[in-house]
Amino acid sequence: RTIDEVSRYVAEQRQRGASIGLVPTMGALHAGHISLVEKCVSENDVTIVSVFVNPTQFNNPADLASYPRKEDDDFRLLSAAGASAVFAPGVEEIYPGGIDAQPEHHFELGMAAEVMEGKYRPGHFQGVAQIVSKLFRMVTPDRAYFGEKDFQQIAVIRNMIKSEGIKVDIVACPIKRADDGLALSS
């Protein structure tokens, strides 16, 4: 639940020479998320899954309030999928003193953040970059796993790690679809 706990866990794993993979999520997990976890488990000694509903990437407060939170179900699914650890901090742990108390930082995300979804959700990808960069710095993974359903987000994250000088391999994983062909999404 805390940055200190995840930092200690990562340090212990690094001391024994383990490779570390991270699957960042906002919870409300489904088969698409689990496919990311399984891929991460197959390619790393340690798989850490973050479960954090990030308020800075919601333009509409009602969307944040209604976002599904199923922590007990998520933890059961992650255990069954072979995750080594779950990092599930509260908002106050990630944003001490509140979101407005955080130093303002503008990420260089390139045109990928300005078109398609970015055109209609101003600030969304800045919020994504903010939390993903925090998670990368807290967990220091060798690899991070994202679904290709969010291909624009993957492009933005790749731009962010380049501009921020963060060393992590981004692994894009195939889309999982429902029986009717719709891409699975929370």
DSSP assignment of 88-133 equals: ---HHHHSTT-GGGSPP------GGGTSTHHHHSTTHHHHHHHHHH
Distances from the Cα of 17 to the Cα of 37, 45, 154, 181, 186, angstroms: 21, 9, 28, 41, 35
Calpha distance 140→117 (Å, rounded): 28
* pLDDT reported for residue 59: 78
pTM of this structure: 0.90
Catalytic one of 30, 33, 105, 124: 33
Q: Determine contact, residues 20/142, Cβ cutoff 8 Å.
A: yes
Q: Determine contact, residues 118/112, Cβ cutoff 8 Å.
A: yes
* pLDDT reported for residue 94: 94
Residue type, 103: P
* pLDDT reported for residue 186: 53
Residue 60 per-residue DSSP state: S
3-state secondary structure of 36: helix
pLDDT in tens, 105-154: 888 888 887 877 778 777 788 888 999 999 999 999 999 999 888 888 89
pLDDT by residue for the chain (186 residues), tens only, comes to 999 999 999 999 999 999 999 999 999 999 899 999 999 999 999 999 999 998 888 878 888 898 889 999 999 999 999 999 999 999 999 999 888 777 778 888 888 878 777 787 777 888 889 999 999 999 999 999 998 888 888 999 999 999 999 999 999 998 777 777 766 665
Q: Which H or E run includes 29?
A: none
Catalytic residue check, 105: no
